[in-house]
Structure 1
Amino acid sequence: MKVDEEELITGLAKAYMLMHRRVNRAMTKQGASLARTKMLAFVRKSGGSARAADIADLFDLAPRTVTESLDSLERDQLIVRTSDPQDRRVKRLAITPLGESAIAATEPLRRELMAEICAVLSETDRAQLHDILSRLVASLSEPEDVVNCG
């Protein structure tokens, strides 16, 4: 069966959208926010080097949207902003112990949802999909791209 590029890309986009929707709904039912959790995970992985601009680039968000989200995370004491020692105009983001706790609280649900989503795939399917996605990401990535959203 020949599948054209349009069908492949549409199917990939639809699968992503449905996975995102399922995870977001499940997290909302638990009182968590997928968007906040993704942002916190990115800040944690950065080890204190993340900037608002990095988040805007990675998640393709408007700078104002990111600023508002970071303001909320900071108000809730989940992150802290500190001045960059080399450029005081730049603010670096770091996760707080409370932010770590927020991520830890969602981790069991996240793992459960990943297992549920992938349950339809055999080990062979998973290996093949991993290989295919790795090749797609490599072919689409620019050298400066950081494809690591947690």
Structure 2
Amino acid sequence: MSNSFTLASENVEAGEALRDFYLTSQRTLNRLMAAQGASFAKTKMMIFIHRQGKVRSTDLVEAFGFAPRTITEAVDAMEKDGLVERVADVTDRRVKHISLTAAGVEVVQLTEPIRKRFTDQLFEVLDPAEKKQLAQLIGRLNVRLRELGEEGDEPGNNNNNNDSGCT
């Protein structure tokens, strides 16, 4: 027999499982990458910069959802470590373009095989059908997250119900 308590418990359990998976996978990958001199957080930003060629701080804010100050501090640290450089835009000196240095490219090249190996080893416990099902389930949750985000953006919406278990 199912009641609202068991449904809430299942929601909390699912939310906690997702959170635990995320945190544990990030910590594990961060530990593996630290041996190459880069944190996973820095490496994610560096990979984004590498793929784009050059970016602005606002591009990083939009891509990662961090506060501008957090992005500035991260870029400052990477610049100090010689991994990125800031160059003023030729048409608007207020705009600074961020790009990887040769050392930054080297770190990305060293850490990408670690990320790939980690992902391959992590998901080898699932068969292809399970991987496809997992991707579909997470895809549905991502669609729902976007819907909930849009509902929260509606004027006059005072829905503060937070029973999802995902905090």
TM over 0.5: yes
Alignment counterpart, residue 64 of structure 1, candidates 46, 55, 69: 69
Instruction: Show the 5 A alignment for 1:1-150.
Output: 4-48=10-54, 50-84=55-89, 87-141=92-146
Shift of 1:131: 1.4
Q: Taking structure 1 as reference, are residues 113 and 133 closer, same or farther at Cα in structure 2, changes over 3 Å only?
A: same
What percentage of residue pairs aligned between the two structures are identical? 35
Structure showing greater relative contact order (alpha-carbon pairs closer than 8 Å, 6 or more residues apart): 2
Structure 1 gaps of 5+ residues are: 144-150
Shift of 1:52: 1.7
Per mean C-alpha deviation after superposition, the further-off stretch among 102-111 and 65-74 is 65-74
TM-score, structure 1 length as denominator?
A: 0.78
TM-score, structure 2 length as denominator?
A: 0.71
Q: Taking structure 1 as reference, are residues 77 and 15 closer, same or farther at Cα in structure 2, changes over 3 Å only?
A: same
Aligned-CA RMSD value: 2.6
Q: Secondary structure at the match of 2:82?
A: coil
Structure 2 gaps of 5+ residues are: 151-167
Shift of 1:10: 1.6
2: CA distance between counterparts of 1:133 and 1:123? 15
User: Considering only CA atoms, is the larger Rg found in Structure 1 or Structure 2?
Assistant: 2
Q: Secondary structure at the match of 1:92?
A: strand
